[in-house]
A and B are shown apart, each in its own frame.
Chain A
């Protein structure tokens, strides 16, 4: 590959923000669903806050995308056009004005965002009604939770797969970006719930501790996939591609990467979790770890996207 020939999409920061919020929404929704299925009573607040966080994080998503595209009607073209052409790609499917392209992560992601938003709304509405003294709809919540979790995971992971399906040397040779973004979604989603619970206070310690354990496990997956990503890029053989890694690990973005994404986002929170200080889950410490994880989660997405587009 001759990286000098390529052009980048030059996506602005608000796309990074969208990927970050989408990850939080998907991660928080999945964690809330799992907590709800295992012990709805014990994890009542985790479930409630989780579904609220998912809805609140996903609401700005289409707004950010529309701002980037410039015109509100343009976002609709991701889903439908008045008369789709038939020769628009391998495996493309059209139904009336709607179209979906399985090989285009952006097309799939737009649909996932739509379905997930519906699920996030229903789940948040259900926990809200229950909290206000209503009966709630446990069966509906289970179904919405399971369907929404599939799309929530998708929403968290697809930006990574999307980047991997470009011609940018660093992204194409990594393969682990989707897996990494999914783990970041889970860790930041869990951290967002934990931050709210810690700030509101009065949460059961065992529930908060379980949540922090979930975040720690997601962080481990995040660290492993990050290492696998870098190793895969390094081993891909091509000179041009190994050079593409330079801005990230030793070039202009290396400080942000090593300090923000690795140290603040991974090493410090994992060390705190490992040391056992989180076992009793004091609210202050939980809040601190949550903030570190959120900052690190944003930085890792930002820095990977920025460094990958340098070449």
Chain B
């Protein structure tokens, strides 16, 4: 396996210009969509089958300055333990040699299980092709040494792309830098490979609690439930089975026609 590639998004540098969103649409030839009014500059509310990149806008009430604006360019996290990949019954979702998670459009059969299994609401269903789609880190570009279109387009280097280990070092340095400048809440989300989901291959530097950005504090792999739920089902099967044996054995009314 090649060295893991990753994306590091630093929200402290994001200016909300959405060049990444446009670049993504252009490179991946994603069709235009009806705009949605979400109450802010954010468009759309969720990732869609035609928006793999999404700049999210959040307003946080603040005693000193009235309101703090947060902008974050959101993307598929390419989780090291990916709920969508584990859920997929066809094997269409696979891990590439770079550690990214892709959906093979020829194999995907449109069951939509991955859509409901993603802890971040990333995977979207395309009604035209009848398949699930999401960000690929521009698979065609990274196989030709170009880096994803969004990272290329970002004018402030808020989005960086490269080898995961190098980016992680850079990210940690940047947190220290920001803290020294007085940004107390600066923290990394998804960088820790011993953390939730084995670390995210798209990790973030955020300047507030994850909840402000709509990110789950402790995202979990949905499939962790399979074992316990199956055991309880077996318990239920035993209860029903024994019950049926007892019911068919006992002669209750004893009345026969």
Contact = CB atoms under 8 A, between A and B. Distances in A.
A81 B42 CA distance: 40
A7 B255 CA distance: 56
Interface in B203-225: 211, 214-216, 220, 222-223, 225
Interface stretch (A70-78, A116-124, A255-263, A290-298): A70-78
Interface stretch (B21-29, B65-73, B80-88): B80-88
A30 interface: yes
A161 B229 contact: yes
A153 B237 contact: yes
B131 to A, nearest CB: 9
Interface stretch (A51-59, A132-140, A203-211): A203-211
Interface string B216-257: 100010110110111011011101110111111111111111
B20 interface: no
Contact of B233 (A74, A90, A161): A161
Contact of A214 (B104, B118, B216, B244): B244
Q: Taking each of B90, B113, B240, B255, which has the highest tally of chain A beta carbons within 10 Å of its own beta carbon? A: B240
A205 B244 CA distance: 17
B41 interface: no
B86 A221 contact: no
A205 B123 contact: no
A162 B87 CA distance: 9
B110 A167 contact: no
Interface stretch (B92-100, B158-166, B174-182): B92-100
Contact of B88 (A70, A89, A180, A210): A89
A8 B116 contact: yes
Nearest to A180: B236
A225 B216 contact: no
Contacts of B225: 161, 164-165, 172, 175
A167 to B, nearest CB: 5
A6 B125 CA distance: 13
A11 B118 CA distance: 15
B139 interface: no
A168 B225 CA distance: 12
Interface residues of B, number: 69
B130 interface: yes
B112 A35 contact: no
A88 B88 contact: yes
Contact of B116 (A39, A84, A167, A221): A167
Contacts of B226: 102-103, 105, 161, 164-165
B253 to A, nearest CB: 5
A221 B243 contact: yes
B91 interface: yes
B236 A7 contact: no
A129 interface: no
A178 B232 contact: yes
16 contacts: A1-B216, A5-B46, A31-B244, A35-B244, A39-B248, A43-B248, A71-B130, A164-B226, A164-B229, A165-B87, A172-B222, A178-B233, A178-B236, A211-B247, A213-B252, A279-B252
Interface of A: 1-2, 4-11, 30-31, 34-35, 38-39, 43, 68-71, 74-75, 77-78, 81, 84-85, 87-90, 92, 94, 99, 101-107, 110, 153, 157, 160-162, 164-168, 172, 175-183, 186, 202, 204-206, 209-211, 213-214, 216-218, 220-221, 225, 279-281, 309
Given A9-B112, A89-B88, 10 more contacts: A6-B116, A30-B241, A74-B109, A88-B95, A105-B226, A106-B111, A172-B222, A176-B229, A214-B247, A279-B252
* Those 6 A-B pairs whose CB atoms lie nearest each other, nearest first: A217-B243, A179-B236, A178-B233, A213-B247, A74-B109, A88-B91
